[in-house]
């Protein structure tokens, strides 16, 4: 597997573009993106489990029910959620794609992100469609990625090449997410393209499997958004033997899908609103995977842990506290905790009790921008990883006046 350039356009058969159409007041911010396939694609999606769902999700669910799609349109600046005319506007976006590209409206995935509860004005989108479609090209991933960003500070884009049998295959994607993130598939959007030849049934199976270990293992602030969506389009242009059952080819595809979703998950966690550090919690030797995942997420969602790491304070008691209130069964008196970064590693807890450590060394380790908390349950062999970020003053500032 090799990392390559191109994002959603790295795979054969895809073009993309992004423009500023006027949804967002800042003209330097792109706010409308389109990804277009040359052919009908197998499609798979997962969505937020929040009971309040954006109107685009309802429309997309109907459109992909047949397992096929050919385009993805997404706006930023307005989530089109909790609006009486929300589905009408989401359908209108699909129809605009049909009008300007010829792709049937029912073959369009539609997504929106931004402020909840404000009516989406369709006119800027209507006005921007000509330029959006005219600019479609096989190097347009960057602009499409920028057009789906809201409070994101950096573009989140990745692509890889790999082999299935004797065929070279590619997978690429863009994602957005910086706040309101605690996915139960958070505001999180991810669009993936691949040229692998795979049935929609197996694509759905792979996506649901991989999301459990990637996007569902990140948290920035504990808030599960209303518009979360991860969508994968597969063109089949790699011409590998059709993947329509579980086998070696399916497992290889899952491995590559996990690689790119892990990369984008970590990018989202590191770019948390106001964040200065990526926090990774690795749980090892747990009794089972369920327990390992629960502990890892409990640690990275703790506001007290996040605040301590912002200050590079080795307040390991907060970590143990978060482990202790995890909703599952395990023996806390067997737990060891270590803190690690590129500056080194240090033991802070053994068998559920504190150990002597050098505060200056610990502070140096925690002053790096990527920190790993290692939790050893010393029970069996299950493991899990979760990602989050520190909690800073800037997070409050961003969210205090986000709407106004």
138 and 179 share one domain? yes
CATH number of the domain within which 118 lies: 3.60.70.12
Question: pTM of the predicted model, to two decimals?
Answer: 0.92
Of residues 399 and 8, more confidence is placed in 8
Residue 56: pLDDT above 60? yes
250 and 201 share one domain? yes
Q: How far apart are CA 10 and CA 141, in angstroms?
A: 9
Q: Identify whether the C-beta of residue 261 lies closer than 8 Å to the C-beta of residue 159.
A: no
State the average pLDDT over residues 187-212.
95
309 and 239 share one domain? no
289 and 262 share one domain? no
262 and 328 share one domain? no
238 and 372 share one domain? no
**Helices 316-324, 303-310: crossing angle, 10 deg rounding:** 160
141 φ, ψ to 5°? -60, -40
Q: Identify whether the C-beta of residue 318 lies closer than 8 Å to the C-beta of residue 301.
A: no
Residue 46: pLDDT above 60? yes
Last residue of a domain, one of 221, 244, 269: 269
Q: How far apart are CA 1 and CA 248, in angstroms?
A: 15
CATH number of the domain within which 285 lies: 3.10.20.340
Q: How far apart are CA 135 and CA 86, in angstroms?
A: 27
Q: How many domains does the chain have?
A: 2
Structural domain boundaries, residue 137: 2-269
pLDDT in tens, 87-141: 999 999 999 999 999 999 999 999 999 989 999 999 999 999 999 999 999 999 9
325 and 244 share one domain? no
Place of tokens 């520190």: 390
Catalytic positions, written as ranges: 187
216 and 349 share one domain? no
Among 305, 216, 339, 212, residue whose Cα is nearest residue 268: 216
34 and 167 share one domain? yes
Last residue of a domain, one of 269, 302, 334: 269
264 and 285 share one domain? no
């Amino acid at each position: 597997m090799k990392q390559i350039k191109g994002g959603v356009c790295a795979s054969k058969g895809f073009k993309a573009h992004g423009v500023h159409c006027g949804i967002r007041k800042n003209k330097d911010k792109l706010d409308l993106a389109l990804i277009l396939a040359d052919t009908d694609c197998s499609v798979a999606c997962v969505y937020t489990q929040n009971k309040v769902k954006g109107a685009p999700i309802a429309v997309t669910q109907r459109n992909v029910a047949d397992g096929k799609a050919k385009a993805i349109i997404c706006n930023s600046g307005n989530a089109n959620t909790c609006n009486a005319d929300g589905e009408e506007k989401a359908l209108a976006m699909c129809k605009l794609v049909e009008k300007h590209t010829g792709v049937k409206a029912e073959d369009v995935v539609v997504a929106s992100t931004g402020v909840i509860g404000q009516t989406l004005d369709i006119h800027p989108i209507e006005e921007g469609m000509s330029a959006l479609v005219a600019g479609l090209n096989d190097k347009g991933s960057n602009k499409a990625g920028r057009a789906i960003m809201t409070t994101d500070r950096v573009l989140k884009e990745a692509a890889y090449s790999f082999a299935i049998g004797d065929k070279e295959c590619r997978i690429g994607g863009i994602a957005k997410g910086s706040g309101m993130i605690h996915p139960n598939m958070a505001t999180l959007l991810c669009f993936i393209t691949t040229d692998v030849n795979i049935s929609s049934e197996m694509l759905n199976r792979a996506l649901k499997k991989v999301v459990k270990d990637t996007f569902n293992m990140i948290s920035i602030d504990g808030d599960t958004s209303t518009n979360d969506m991860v969508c994968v389009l597969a063109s089949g242009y790699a011409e590998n033997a059709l993947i329509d059952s579980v086998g070696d080819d399916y497992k290889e595809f899952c491995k590559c899908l996990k690689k790119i979703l892990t990369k984008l998950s970590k990018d989202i966690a590191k770019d948390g609103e106001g964040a200065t550090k990526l926090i990774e919690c690795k749980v090892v030797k747990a009794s089972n995977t369920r327990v390992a995942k629960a502990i890892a997420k409990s640690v990275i969602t703790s506001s007290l842990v996040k605040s301590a790491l912002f200050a590079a304070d080795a307040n390991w008691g907060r970590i143990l506290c978060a482990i202790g209130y995890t909703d599952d069964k395990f023996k806390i008196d067997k737990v060891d905790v270590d803190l690690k970064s590129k500056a080194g590693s240090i033991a802070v807890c053994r068998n559920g009790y504190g150990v002597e450590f050098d505060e200056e060394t610990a502070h140096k380790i925690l002053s790096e921008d990527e920190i790993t908390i290692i939790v050893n349950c010393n029970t069996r062999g299950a493991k899990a990883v979760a990602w989050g970020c520190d909690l800073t003053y800037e997070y409050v500032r961003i969210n205090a006046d986000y709407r106004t």
